[in-house]
Amino acid sequence: MSPLLKTRVISAVVLLPIVLVILYLGGWPYEALVGLATVLAGYEYVQMLARRGYELHTWLVMALIIAWEIGELWPAGDPWVPMVLFMVVGAFPALVRSQRDGEGSLPVEHWALMLAGSSYLGLGGRALIHLRRAPDGLWWTFLTCLIVWVGDSAAYFVGRRWGRHKIAPRISPGKSWEGYLAQVLAGTLLGGGLGALGASLVHVPSLALAPGLGLGFLVSLLCPGGDFLVSMIKREVGVKDTGALIPGHGGMFDRLDSLLWAGVLASLLVGLIV
């Protein structure tokens, strides 16, 4: 076992039980974990763009992420209120920058990048919260996370051993079609198998073979897009990882890249089933 792989395994062994316990608890511990993870990813996003000269307001990006997620928890009235409020407020730093620095300050680019990053992370976090709060949300969220984690592992090991045909070498040289196919196959089989077992063992009405297969296939097929998107940003700014928060795994954004897409897809699919 290589030193890097050993570090990755140790980090997973330490952190995974904590994440699973919080996932089981649900409620505010889970929602706080999602909020913390996405805010940390937002911080890494700001730091990466700073390497290209974009000085985004860290506190505002974080506030916008939380505003998206608070919209899911908004107790009364329109749940879009917090997000819209912070979007409007977010325009003011761009106006101030433009007035202060004049030409060359790129206020529109700063504002667009701020909204793009915060909306991407906030929407993904909001979907993960929505999924956990859905009927049978514990099982659907657990299944979604497991599909992502097992699929990523299958892609990693198969790609390293047999990967010959690269998908997008300029963006992510390590990603191969062989690894991708292994990810789709592993995720689909896992989703179907656990869906069938869940229906019979834990008696969750919405879990079954067909929904599990559908979730596993969709998540495994489409979620690598999140990985490629983050890889594109990293390639643009010239970094290998989004950060160094998790030994052997890089930054928080590295860990959330596929999971955010999975949360959105699973939330939409579960909304049609339950």
More confident residue, 205 or 215: 215
Q: Are 143 and 194 in contact (CB under 8 A)?
A: yes
Question: Would you state the pLDDT for residue 37?
Answer: 96
Which are the contacts of 210, defined by CB distance < 8 A and separation ≥ 6?
A: 192, 195
pLDDT, the chain, mean: 85
Tokens for 28? 């505010």
pLDDT-based confidence at residue 97 (cuts at 50, 70, 90): low
Mean pLDDT over 101-109 rounds to 60
pLDDT exceeds cutoff 60 at 105 = no
Q: Domain count of the chain?
A: 1
Q: Are 121 and 38 in contact (CB under 8 A)?
A: yes
Question: Would you state the pLDDT for residue 6?
Answer: 78
Q: What is the pTM of this model?
A: 0.88
Half-sphere exposure of 272 (CA within 13 A, CB side): 8
Which are the contacts of 55, defined by CB distance < 8 A and separation ≥ 6?
A: 110
More confident residue, 65 or 92: 65
Q: ∠ CA(89), CA(233), CA(82), 5° rounding?
A: 25
**Interval 178-214: pLDDT, tens:** 999 999 999 999 999 988 887 777 777 778 888 899 9
For residue 73, how many other CB atoms are within 10 A of its CB? 15
Q: Which residues pair with 246 in a beta bridge?
A: 250
pLDDT-based confidence at residue 132 (cuts at 50, 70, 90): very high
Mean pLDDT over 117-137 rounds to 92
* Helices and strands, number each (H, E), in the chain: 10, 0
15 class by beta-carbon count within 10 Å (0-12 exposed, 13-18 middle, 19+ buried): middle
pLDDT-based confidence at residue 80 (cuts at 50, 70, 90): low
pLDDT exceeds cutoff 70 at 91 = no
Q: Which domain, by its residues, includes 120? A: 3-273
pLDDT-based confidence at residue 79 (cuts at 50, 70, 90): low
pLDDT-based confidence at residue 48 (cuts at 50, 70, 90): very high
Question: Would you state the pLDDT for residue 143?
Answer: 94
Q: How far is it, in rounded angstroms, from Cα 195 to Cα 182?
A: 19
**Interval 223-270: pLDDT, tens:** 989 899 999 999 988 888 898 888 878 899 999 989 999 999 999 998
**Interval 15-35: pLDDT, tens:** 899 999 999 998 999 999 999
